[in-house]
Amino acid sequence: MVIKLTDVEKSNLKKRKDKYERYEKLFNDEHADVYDVEDNKKKKYISFNYLRKASKVMADGLAKNPPRYMVPEKDNQEFIEEVIFNNKLDVQLQEFVLGASYLGDCFIGVDIVNLEEFEEYGDGSRITNIKDIEYIIHFIHPKHVIIKTDEVNKRKIQAYIIQSKIEIEDKEYYKQKIITRNSVEEYYYNAELTTQDNLDEKALEKSLTKTVQHNLNAFLIQHVPNLVVPGEIYGQSDYVDGEKIQKIINELITQLIDIFKKHGNPRLVLSGSVFDSMFEDENVEEDEEGNKYVNIGEVEVVRVESDGDEQPMVEMLTWDAKTTDSLELLKFAVNQLLSLMEISPELLGSSQTGGNGPESGRALTMRIISTLNKVARLRRNFDYSLKNILYVVQLWEAKYQPNKRISSPEKVDIMWDEFYPEDKLEKSQIAREMKNIGFDLETILKEQYNYTQEQVDEILDRIANNMNNTIMKNQNKRLNFNS
């Protein structure tokens, strides 16, 4: 099956790739390139990368403590724990969240890798057996992925197309993997005949090879968007709203540092006649405004024009610039950037209330409520995709694995850790208050400690058994005493 892109899809793909490249540069602190600023000897462009810090806060908050993956059956539990460990899924989760934050999209791929063994016979023939199957979970850069949707219903996905450049025997080819509901196909195209963005008719006719993997579900791809607006299928980057303010912040910081440097390094000003008598032309430089100067160590000597009747001038020029307004504007810009990124200053160690920070965990929760809502949105998207991945991997194991360790797949539950550290003392105080006003133990355990019904039943059974044992011991003591 060959899928060709329409002109509109090709144009949208090019625009998406340009955005991904821009956001990657912003994340990697290549701001001068993004904002088209040239450094020069006199003034160095400086960036304080609040955008990247905001993305790292999200990734650290959601993935700093890995979630717990649970299934009812013991064999299935051991199997998914092995898959998670072999793929370092707990480590990759941070990469997934970062990608979703600054690129806007995260694609997670799951491959089957067959470990084959051959049995050879005396007549020279041999048979291939599947010895074992491994499952590879990995991040797919969104610039390589095209989502082919129905022309009328944009939410109905017809296929995922993954395109990438590969090298075979020192020659470059474009690899195209097409994933539909019923099949997974791979094509390889000669790089000399086509480009990755535009597979033309000539290249399609001269596909190098075509390989069809298993007939059903041999490759899984999960799309985790950051934020989806109505009518769109791709996600939006966190940097959409913040990059313009980041540019303002960079310009203010660059300007302020330049002023502070001039405060610390006064310039020696000489009249034209004195300057010309002291320095040769080959040592003299000009700034953008045409003023002549010479650098002697860290001291800048500047030439100024003077009338012939004036006495030769030699003086130190100091700066008396006012920075209060600029610093206030910088503070305002940073706060607005964090607000647009839904990141509370408390999470960056910059409390807006002064003192030693929030007086309680409840107060902190109220101050970072917008960040918690953002985390909940990303957590919901990742929760759905990770459950799908671990369920399908179990399905493959039960269906394709020669030495299968499980008989059927089980639904996966995921327990996510809190975004910020628990205040255990405060939790116990709230639980005590709930008990005093009449809440039963089951409600307290569920609402305050997020225990499942199974965990609550186990605790209540243990308490009941301990009470029964205590009653039996007391009865035995009384019987022994009476006898």
Nearest residue to 422 (alpha-carbon basis) of 345, 356, 364, 355? 364
- CA distances to 42, 143, 364, 370 from 353, rounded to whole Å, are 39, 42, 11, 17
Question: Under a CB-based contact definition with an 8 Å cutoff, are residues 437 and 431 in contact?
Answer: no
Reported as half-sphere exposure (CB side, CA atoms, 13 A), residue 372 has a value of 12
Spatial separation of the C-alpha atoms in residues 374 and 301, rounded to whole Å: 54
Nearest residue to 176 (alpha-carbon basis) of 32, 1, 7? 1
Inter-axis angle of helices 89-103 and 7-27, nearest 10? 110
The one-character DSSP state at 73 is S
Take residue 147 and report the two structure tokens written for it: 């989502």
Query: How would you write the pLDDT of the chain (483 residues) with one tens digit per residue?
Result: 566 677 787 788 889 999 999 999 999 999 988 888 865 555 678 888 888 988 888 888 888 778 889 888 899 999 999 999 999 998 899 889 999 999 999 999 998 876 555 455 555 555 555 567 788 899 999 998 988 887 777 778 888 888 887 776 677 777 788 888 777 887 777 665 555 445 554 544 455 455 444 433 468 899 999 888 887 889 899 898 888 999 998 888 888 887 777 666 666 777 777 777 777 777 788 776 677 877 776 667 777 776 655 555 555 555 555 677 888 888 888 888 888 888 877 777 665 555 555 555 566 666 777 788 888 888 899 999 999 999 999 988 888 777 788 889 999 998 887 766 555 666 677 777 777 787 888 887 777 677 778 888 888 888 888 877 777 676 666 555 555
Burial label, 20 (beta-carbon count in 10 A; 0-12, 13-18, 19+): buried
pTM: 0.70
Give tens-digit pLDDT for 193-241.
555 445 554 544 455 455 444 433 468 899 999 888 887 889 899 898 8
Burial label, 73 (beta-carbon count in 10 A; 0-12, 13-18, 19+): middle
